[in-house]
Structure 1
Amino acid sequence: METLTLIAILLLLLLILLTILRRRRHAPVTRTQNQSGSFLELMKNSHRILDWTTDLLLSKPSGTVSTFMAIITSNPSNVEHILKTNFNNYPKGSSFTSILHDFLGSGIFNADGDHWRLQRKTASLEFSTKAIRAFILSRVHLESISRLLPLLTSASVSGEIINLQDLLELFTFDNACQVTFGHDPSLLNASSPSFSDRELALAFEEATQLSVRRFSHPFPFIWKLQRFLNLGSERRLREEVAKVQAFAMEVVRERKRRRDLTGSLGDDLLSRFIALRSRRKRYHGGGHNLVFLAHIYKTRCEEKIIDEIKSVRDKTKKTMDEAPVFSLDQVKDMVYLHAALAESLRLYPPVPLQTRTSLEDDVLPDGTAVKKGQTVMYSSYAMGRRKEIWGPEWGDFRPERWIEKGEFRAVSPFTYPVFHAGPRMCLGKEMAHIQMKAIAAAVLERFEIEVVDGEKERVKDLGIMLRIKGGLPVRVHPLVY
């Protein structure tokens, strides 16, 4: 039955494609100097979308191209116009939000308009408190001391090759669940996770990948038809999302039961939002996952990072055994490490492409005309490679570009939109830096990380977040002082 249905779908697609081609054959052709990226070119480069779009952008003096699907820009003036100056004209749009709605719902990451503003205001109040920052850092410390560092120590003794990307993602998932739900899946501890927690992690990963797959369809009605008929990948997506939602609802019910029995909640975000909802009945927010991935490859700056960590350690007057992790104030003193992480994020931003939809006709600062309903994208990945922004040595890993007179020098978020910019700038930006620095310092103070086949070019895997295809195999060596 499914085979016959798929054949019918393919025949329908063929008829629609022929109709489109027939119309285009008789339509007047208009091109601008920024126009490029045909459907055939897209298909030819589908395995390297990120590099292909970057090549197109870097080949244009304006840093902007118009493809058959969207306008894509790497021009800071355009980015500021989209994200700030004319913010109300560029929501994420229904075309984008519908793709992720089955998985993310109408939470803060996938909402527009008044619904987004309400959630943003509520979430910003919670993220600005010292209590939540202290709670998040305490979870990072606990996860590092009890799981991550012992695991790396074991690998350094055995000499086995480990996948650092997978390891950090498990760390992140455990940490995010603790911060968000007050639930510890213990995935980083292979002997601890229950079957249900492993199933949750697998369901979350599968739902993420299947949702991202929708973006690869040049014609959205393909996946929408599959969803309507409950076929193939759309049926699997529905099943995996149901597992994630069942877990989330059970956690919410358990937290409310705890409140009713004891009159108290936890420090996690869910508990805070439940308490807030008791005071403000209009709030209907979703969960917030702070996800990050940072890779520091072996470079000439490694010695400077370790020297800085040693300097901060000396000021504590405590050994690693006495104080296994650094405090919030100590982490803030690590300027060079902060710069190295910023440099890593410049070259490998976690979310390299962002999408918006124009509500009305508009003209970008570089003169590019935007039609009502047109998709507009900006590439932080390409922006990190523009010599007009970073100079001819943009390809050099040079943390010093971020330091001025011994202090970290921030740049305009419209030049470096790794954490977005304007009204939708990431609420967890400061906390993400603190988490990354705390983890990196704890690891680099103890171990030397050797990338296996370090000269090998890594293939990028573009999903909701940028990853390395096949992971990052490393050997871990104890650091000898």
Structure 2
Amino acid sequence: MLSGAASDKTVLDLQDVLQRFAFDNVCKIAFGHDPACLLPSLPQTEFADAFEVATQLSSERFRAPILIFWKIKRFFNVGSEKCLKIAISRVRDFAKKIVREKKQELAGKSSLESVDLLSRFLNSGHSDEDFATDIVISFILSGRDTTSAALTWFFWLIYKHPEVENEILKEIKEKSDMPVYEEVKDMVYVHASLCESMRLYPPVPTDGKLAMEDDVLPDGTVVKKGTLVTYAPYATGRMEKIWGSDWSMFKPERWLERDEAGKWRFVGRDPYTYPVFQAGPRICLGKEMAFLQMKRVVAGILRRFKVVPATEDDGFQPVFLAYLTAKMKGGFPIKVERSSRFMD
């Protein structure tokens, strides 16, 4: 797809392309199912469209100035709530279809041959259809939108900071002779750049937890059972108290230090300072897989192409939309240029 765009000088919406990639990828890994959203023709798919509508309208409930409005619309089944109901129905129908097909597939086998997560999940005794359907939707939500959101803002930031892109290219070139897994695992500067990108533009800008019992936070704040506690990785990542006076700068080096041999070594932050992947018992189970995917995509694309925003306005600044997951308003239109940086 990128080769075609480079040859034809066509404009692609990188945000859409990355969402399609992440959707196909998570479906293959989680369910052994390929929805083929990333075909060169960029087909419209009912489920992906419904999923997008459902996540957007769900998040808008939290931003309603008066909460009773959306509840009234839901009661009378009108407006955005009617659209949300239809979208959710389509999402659940698709997810149930996957669960039923997977159950039939497993019923015809004497042993577990499939390596996808849903097969292992069903085979472990979690056979309730509604519960399995919720798991399918959860996998897609966590694997599709978060990875694509992180990569969308990452490619924007490295375009704006060519010195960072040059360091990334240098590292990619150094690791290019390694086996794929070792290559990706050893990309320290790319890893730091992704962490820094997600500090400024976290894939989940705000998140909330419901207290199941009375509790007390470390600072003494009393939390009663049934209270919704919301925290904001977007705000945390921009606090001068945590990140210093240069918090607004895109600076991968803040995650790195030199070892005795003069090579970069990654220095992580504790998950409560950097809650992009949550923390404690609720820490993201797919964190390592997400980094593996993102570093592989970064290396694969930058080895062959340069991503350039398709705007004539040098001062253009994309707008950050905080839905359930982060979005770039209007997408991220780009032009793709072939790179000769690895030809020598």
TM-score, normalized by the shorter chain, greater than 0.5: yes
| Candidates 253, 257, 264, aligned match of 2:100 | 253
- 1:302 paired to 2:165: yes
Deviation per CA, 1:383-438, whole angstroms, max 9, x where unpaired?
Answer: 11112211111111111111122211111111110001111010111111111001
Q: Which amino acid aligns with 1:335?
A: V
Which residue does the alignment assign to 1:101? none
Is 1:238 matched with 2:85? yes
After TM superposition, give the deviation of residue 479 of structure 1 in Å: 0.8
- For residues 322-341 of structure 1, what are the structure 2 equivalents within 5 Å? 327-341=180-194
- State whether residues 47 and 90 of structure 2, in contact with CA within 8 Å, keep that contact through their aligned partners in structure 1: yes
| Aligned position for 1:458 | 318
1:239–1:418: structure 2 CA closer, same or farther, 3 Å change rule?
A: same
Post-superposition offset of 1:374: 4.5
**Structure 1 segment 36-435 matched on structure 2, within 5 A:** 151-191=1-41, 198-263=45-110, 264-277=112-125, 284-285=131-132, 286-287=135-136, 288-289=139-140, 290-291=143-144, 292=147, 293=149, 294=151, 295-296=154-155, 297=157, 298=159, 299=161, 300-313=163-176, 315-316=177-178, 327-358=180-211, 359-360=213-214, 362=216, 365=219, 373-404=226-257, 405=259, 406-435=264-293
- 8 Å CA contact retained: 2:202, 2:233: yes
Q: What's the CA shift for 1:166?
A: 1.2
* Structure 2 CA distance for partners of 1:210 and 1:156, relative to 1, 3 Å: same
Deviation at 1:372, TM superposition (A): 6.2
Cα distance in 2 between the residues matched to 1:327 and 1:439: 12
Contact 1:255 1:265 in 2 (8 A): no
Report the alpha carbon displacement of residue 445 of structure 1 after superposing the two structures with TM. Answer: 0.7
Quote the Cα distance in structure 1 between the aligned partners of 2:222 and 2:104: 55
**TM-score normalized by structure 2?**
0.84
Cα distance per residue 1:267-311 (max 9 Å; x no partner): 211111111127x88994522232312223221111111011111
More moved, 284-293 vs 400-409? 284-293
In 2, distance between residues paired with 1:238 and 1:155?
37
Shift in alpha-carbon separation, 1:183–1:368, aligned structure 2, 3 A: same
CA distance in 2, matches of 1:424, 1:222: 32
Q: 1:220 offset after TM fit, Å?
A: 3.4
Distance 1:356 1:172, change over 3 A: same
**Structure 1: where are the runs of 5+ without partners?**
1-150, 317-325
Give deviations 1:356-396, integer Å, cap 9, x for gaps.
3455474652x666666554322211111112211111111
- Measure, in 2, the Cα distance between the counterparts of 1:166 and 1:192: 9
How far apart are residue 265 of structure 1 and its match? 4.9
Q: 1:361 to 1:269 in 2, by over 3 A?
A: closer
Task: In structure 2, list runs of 5 or more residues that go unmatched.
Answer: none
Aligned AA for 2:58?
S
- Shift of residue 234 of structure 1? 1.7
Q: Output the CA distance in 2 between the equivalents of 1:363 and 1:424.
A: 16
**Matched residue of 1:277: which SS?**
coil
What displacement does 1:262 show? 3.7
- Note if contact 1:354-1:377 (Cα within 8 Å) is conserved in structure 2: yes
Asked if structure 2 preserves the Cα contact closer than 8 Å seen for 1:277 and 1:283, the reply is no
- How far apart in 1 are the matches of 2:25 and 2:324? 19
Contact 1:308-1:336 at 8 Å conserved across structures = yes
C-alpha distance in structure 2 between counterparts of 1:192 and 1:418, whole Å: 30
Contact 2:96-2:129 at 8 Å conserved across structures:
no
Distance 2:322 2:184 in 1: 31
1:182-221 Cα deviation digits (max 9, x unpaired): 221111114485x7xx111111111112212211224434
In 2 relative to 1, CA 363–398 (structure 1 residues): closer, same or farther, beyond 3 Å?
A: closer
**Normalised TM-score (structure 1):** 0.61
Larger radius of gyration: 1
RMSD (Å), alpha carbons? 2.4
Distance 1:421 1:207 in 2: 26
- The whole-number CA distance in structure 1 between the counterparts of 2:66 and 2:330 is 29
- Check 1:307–1:431 CA distance in 2 against 1; reply closer, same or farther (3 A cut): same
Whether the 8 Å contact between 1:227 and 1:234 is mirrored in structure 2 is yes
Alpha-carbon distance between aligned partners in 2 of 1:375 and 1:159, rounded to the nearest angstrom = 49
Which amino acid counterpart does residue 331 of structure 2 have in structure 1?
G
Can you list the C-alpha shifts for 1:162-189, whole angstroms capped at 9, x where unaligned? 2111111111111122222222111111
Q: Distance in 2 between matches of 1:185 and 1:414?
A: 36
How far, CA to CA, are the matches of 2:100 and 2:210 in structure 1?
37
TM-superposed CA distance for 1:344, in Å, is 0.4
Q: Report the equivalent of 2:297.
A: 439
